[in-house]
Each structure stands twice: as structure tokens, then as C-alpha cells.
Amino acid sequence: MDTTVTDTSTTDAGATDTTVTVSSPAGENAAGAPQFVRSAAAVATSTGDDYRVDIRSGHHLLAADEPESAGGADTATTPVGLLLSAVGSCTAITLRMYAQRKQWPLDIVRVHLGYEKGPDATARITRRIDLIGDLDDAQRARLLDIAERTPVTRAVRGGTPIVPAEPHGPQPVRERNHHE
């Protein structure tokens, strides 16, 4: 539903100015299309000839690399390891938040994840969740149910699209090698 605000004022010359403001519902632009609001951001930078990537997410620094068997130097976890870490940490945080809000006796959440490759280039993520604490069967079942709907689980399962972003700020100039 649109919200309309009308503001009427009288100028010094006695004329009446009317301002009408129409705002769209939250999450939509003027054309009615959904608007996206950035909720997280990261920058991954690869410099040099090796496969190491330095990552900045907010004020946190991370890194990724490939194992030596894949040509990397094994200085950090793999990109798939970071994906598994995202699923596992989001699962543990979401369950911890829910249990705290309900004041349930959840002592430890441990999430075991694996990335498995199958036939015909298929892959899947396996997840086992250990809930340690004096929880009854209904509480455990509810927490496991919630684990299926964490934000990162939904993003991975739903196949969140990756789309080109508009350039932001000045673009770096690529130096040309005079031998090209």
C-alpha cells in the first residue's frame, strides 16, 4: 500500500505551495519492482601468481587458497571450506540465538559438514548437528527443524543468483605489458 503525505504551506506572497510525497511499500522501488538492500559485503583480492586470496569482510580479514595438490600453497582454507564454514557457523549461531531466546539449556552446538562430489559433476553438502545440553526430544526436534531454514542454508539451497554489480568508485587501470 502506498503512503501519501501532503504538506501545504503559504508563501510570503500569499500563494499556496503543496508538496505531495508518495512512498512505495518497503522493499519496492517506484516501478513496484523489488529493491535489494545489501546486508553483507566482502572483497576478495588476488595478487601475484599464486592462488592465495586475501578477503576483507567488514573489518575482518580472512584468506583462501588451494591445496598443494591443486597448485596452491595451502596457506588457508579452500573456497569450498569457506562455504562450509558459512553454512556451519550460520547454523550454530541461529540455533544458539533461538535456544537463548527460549531459555533452553543448549550448552554446545557442533556442526559437522562435508562437501561431496558425485557422478556427472553433481555435488552435495552433508551436515550433522550435535546438540549438547539437557534438551528434551521436542526441543531437539525444533532446533533441527530451524536449522533447515537458516539464512545461509536458504541461500545455498535456493541457488541464490550471482549477478553483475555496478562499478563502485574509480576503476583501476590495467597496465599493459609492452610485449602483448
The torsion angles phi and psi of 86, rounded to 5 degrees, stand at -65, -45
- What's the pLDDT tens digit per position in 129-157? 999 999 999 999 999 999 999 999 999 99
3-state secondary structure of 117: strand
Domain span at residue 71 reads 38-76
Instruction: Tell me, yes or no, whether 124 lies in a domain.
Output: yes
The average pLDDT across 36-41 equals: 90
Q: From CA 92, how far away is CA 88, in angstroms rounded?
A: 6
Instruction: Tell me, yes or no, whether 168 lies in a domain.
Output: no
Which positions ≥6 away from 169 have C-beta within 8 Å? Answer: none
45 and 64, same structural domain? yes
Instruction: Tell me, yes or no, whether 62 lies in a domain.
Output: yes
pTM for the full predicted model? 0.74
- What's the pLDDT tens digit per position in 76-97? 999 999 999 999 999 999 999 9
Q: From CA 41, how far away is CA 46, in angstroms rounded?
A: 17
Alpha helices (H) along the chain: 79-102, 137-147, 151-157
The torsion angles phi and psi of 53, rounded to 5 degrees, stand at -125, 130
Which of 76, 91, 123 is a domain's end point? Answer: 76
42 and 88, same structural domain? no
Instruction: Tell me, yes or no, whether 46 lies in a domain.
Output: yes
126 and 92, same structural domain? yes
Give the count of domains, the chain: 2
The torsion angles phi and psi of 132, rounded to 5 degrees, stand at -110, 125
Sheet strand arrangement including 43-45: 43-45, 53-57, 60-64
Burial (Cβ within 10 Å: 0-12, 13-18, ≥19) of residue 64: buried
